[in-house]
Amino acid sequence: MKHPFCKHWLVGLTISVTMSLPLMAAAETSRAYVPMGMADSVDVIDLESRQVTASITGTVNTHGSALTPEGRYLVAGSLSAHEGQEPVSRPEGVTEDEHAAHHGGGTAAVSEESNTGLLYVVDTATNAVARKLEVPGPVHHVLVTSDGRYAVSTHPMGGGISIVDLDTGTLVKSVATGPAPNFIVETGDGQSLLVSNSGNGTISEVDIEHWFVKRNLRVGGGPEHMVLAPNNERLYVNNGASGQVLVVELSSGAVAATYEVGDEPHGVDLSDDGQILYATSKGSNRIVRIELASGARHSVTLAPAPYHLAVSPHNGQLLVTSRSESKLWVLDPESLDIIDEIPLKGIGHQISLESH
């Protein structure tokens, strides 16, 4: 198999990053990075002013994104095939997510030679693409491990994940997890990744040290986005098939509870203390707030098509994109009232937030 990376992309990166560190340390802003999908850019939002302050260009159909722990780089993944490969045409009325999941629903993996994807490594001090790294297939969602070493991508057309070493730019391994892998989270001890496979209703637990699937959890339906409780005991998973959020006990691997959300649930996140669950329903035009201790539930209409969701570390406010319009809502975490609407350049996908 050919080596997919070019060393010249790495030249000068360390120098440029080192020079940018004092500038980054001096900055006290809190930012959100939102891939714009087919608009071929990533919007940068200042969470204090609630304004788009920059647009990262030079990307193609970015959907997944993740920041390295110190915020030095943003890793964004392209959901399009590259190297001259024409993606399968998407029927009218079918979203790009649904189309990618459909064509990843089989058991046969797509070869690296015939279907190449890209990760863009962006210097967040300059908002410039510093490296382009090839991976085996179009990328849906992205995670950077807590030690900052690896970028992990889900490949819905290939039935697994890929692991890239960010220090060297090399592909470490591809791991088969199941049909239409969707989302990734990391356990708090840094020992495992959890990957939702929407094509067969499972969640794969992947060993980070040796990169193999050590356990498959059968949850049923179509598991997609996930968030892990701070104590690492419970995993909250939206189920696209049932319109629910599933609560998975990781010790037993069993579904312990379910929460009704609405048609086409998508985004899911927790408050910083892990006590409040938030979820969006694209199909029902709703956002739901659930107090986990009491089960108290509050939901409001949010239209059209609330999509990706993230809780801001800046003030706990909710950031929600629309699947139908180029905007991001800022919501009050208690009342779910709209505080602001931020115009975007495209449809906003996986939101990455600075933690400082």
Check the CA dihedral 79-239-306-98 and report its sign: positive
Residue of 9, 267, 1 whose CA lies nearest to 119: 9
pLDDT band of residue 3 (cuts 50, 70, 90) is very low
pLDDT higher than 80, residue 90: no
Q: How sure is the predictor about 138, in pLDDT bands with cuts at 50, 70 and 90?
A: very high
Domains of the chain: 1-20+30-176 (2.130.10.10)
Is the pLDDT score of 9 beyond 70?
no
Q: Pick 118 or 1 by higher pLDDT.
A: 118
Average pLDDT, the chain: 87
Pairwise CA distance, residues 351 & 35, whole Å: 7
Q: Do the Cβ atoms of 130 and 122 come closer than 8 Å?
A: yes
Asked whether residue 107 carries a pLDDT value surpassing 50, the answer given is no
Give dist(CA 322, CA 282) in Å, integer. 8
Greater model confidence, 7 or 174: 174
Cα-Cα end-to-end distance for the chain = 41
3-state secondary structure at position 13: helix
Judged by average pLDDT, the poorest of 93-102, 301-310, 342-351 is: 93-102
For residue 314, the model assigns a pLDDT of 86
Q: What integer pLDDT is reported at residue 82 of this predicted model?
A: 83
Query: Residue 213: is its pLDDT beyond 50?
Result: yes
- If one compares 15 and 213, the residue with the highest pLDDT of the two is 213
Average pLDDT over every residue of 180-206: 97
**Residue ranges of E strands in 15-107:** 31-35, 42-46, 51-56, 62-67, 73-78
Residue 73 banded pLDDT, cuts 50, 70, 90: very high
Residue 111's pLDDT is: 40
- Residue 356 pLDDT: 61
Mean pLDDT of 3-13: 39
pLDDT confidence bin for 83, thresholds 50/70/90: low
Confidence at residue 28, expressed as pLDDT on a 0 to 100 scale: 58
pLDDT in tens, 219-252: 999 999 999 999 999 999 999 999 999 999 999 9
Which pLDDT does position 115 carry in this prediction? 76
How sure is the predictor about 204, in pLDDT bands with cuts at 50, 70 and 90?
Answer: very high
- pLDDT given for residue 159 in this prediction: 96
Reply yes or no on whether the pLDDT at 105 is more than 70. no
What is residue 347's predicted lDDT score, i.e. its pLDDT?
Answer: 98
Q: What are the tens digits of pLDDT across the range 261-274?
A: 999 999 999 999 99
| Distance, CA of 54 to CA of 33 (rounded, Å) | 10
Quick check: 202 and 223 in contact, CB under 8 A?
A: yes
pLDDT at 94 over 70: no
Instruction: List, in sequence order, the alpha helices (H) in the chain.
Output: 13-26, 96-103
Closest CA to 266 of 318, 345, 219, 322: 322
